[in-house]
Amino acid sequence: MSELNEILKAWRHELHRHPETAFEETRTAAFVAERLREMGIEVHTGIGGTGVIGRLKVGDGPKVVALRADMDAIALTETGTVSYKSEHEGKMHGCGHDGHVTTVLGAAKLLSESRDFNGTVQFLFQPAEEPGKGAHAMIDDGLFERFPMDEIYGQHNNPAYPAGTVNICKGGFASCEDNFKIEIHGRGGHASAPEKTVDPMVIAAQIILALQTIPSRNAGAFQPVVVSCTELFTDGAHNAIPSNVTILGDCRSYSKEMQSLIETRMRDIVEHICQAYGATWDFLYTHEFAPTVNWDEQVDAVIQAASHVLGEEKVNGNCSPFMASEDFGAFLEKVPGAFFFMGGAVGDESRDMPLHNSCFDYNDDTLEAGAQVFAQLVRERLAG
């Protein structure tokens, strides 16, 4: 194992021991800032709360490329047995953001030592990706005005792909996440006399089933859409028909047009079913994560750089999109860029734990590969 990978492992294990959740990443941010300063990189802190920017300019090239890593952990108690297990009850790096931070720090180390590019690279360390708030917080804090950039790139580890592979596709890569709340107001009563009630449970059942016609009958056959009703609450009892029912849920898609269609159709379905049964209703639809939509030119750049580092056989340029969400999409609405997966699977079920599992642990053997891909990407995009 190389000296660089040993350094990156040590950094990642230190971060893993001290996970911090959204907007609380003060120790993590301080660790990042200290490492960047040791490399001679200009550092800016406190952006969007706990965000950190490192800037490295070489030569007189005007172009600016950004590399992004998310820093926050999740609210989960780690049950694994690694020696560097989380020291903070109820918090762990169960999504691998410790590895993401380390990978971008590794790219910063490589580039600060080689300085073999012409332009500016910005290392962007973002808070609060998990709740989908951190990218917007940095943007609202003037990220693009204070630190203009021409392109931005990011990656996420994925234990479903073989270790050391890069997986990417053009267009929709990660879905949006929209949340909804449907409140149905009927008239409750005794379970023995339903004819004297306006039963919101029956109405809710009709609505839940009807919502599934949105992906099956309103979206195109090749447009991925998921509508999920995930929670149901009533104010009734086992022998009382309730007066009120609340349905909560989640929608996933890859475009603003589809988000708009889902919201419109959902509102229509709720309104007209409630009207048909004589109930009233309230409807709330919120946009939590923007879809992550990769730009074609930047996808080609990732494929080329990764192929030069890893070999063409380890780069999949047409992987399947995934229906989970990633707030990197907020950056891609502002500037061109691309997001890719770095595979982490070793073919051992005891190690290849899914993301957000309490035993998940980032594959250290992919840290250097990710750093080298990022560094090569910068070199090629900022070629003199």
Q: What is the dihedral angle through the alpha carbons of 108, 374, 372, 302, rounded to the nearest 10 degrees?
A: -170
113 labeled binding residue: no
Q: Is 95 annotated as a binding residue?
A: yes
Q: Report the length, in residues, of the chain.
A: 384
- Annotated ligand binding at 272? The verdict is no
Query: Which residue bears the tokens 């004297």?
Result: 196
Whether residue 98 contacts residue 16, with contact meaning beta carbons closer than 8 Å, is answered with: yes
Helix (H) or strand (E) holding 337: strand 337-345
CA angle 257, 258, 260 (to 5 degrees): 65
Determine the Cα–Cα distance for residues 213 and 210; give it in Å rounded to an integer. 6
The answer to the question of whether 356 is labelled as a binding residue is: yes
The C-alpha atoms of residue 340 and residue 343 are separated, in whole angstroms, by: 10
Left (φ > 0), alpha (ψ -120 to 50) or beta: where does 56 sit? beta
Binding residues for Mn(2+): 95, 97, 130, 156, 356
Binding residues: 95, 97, 130, 156, 356
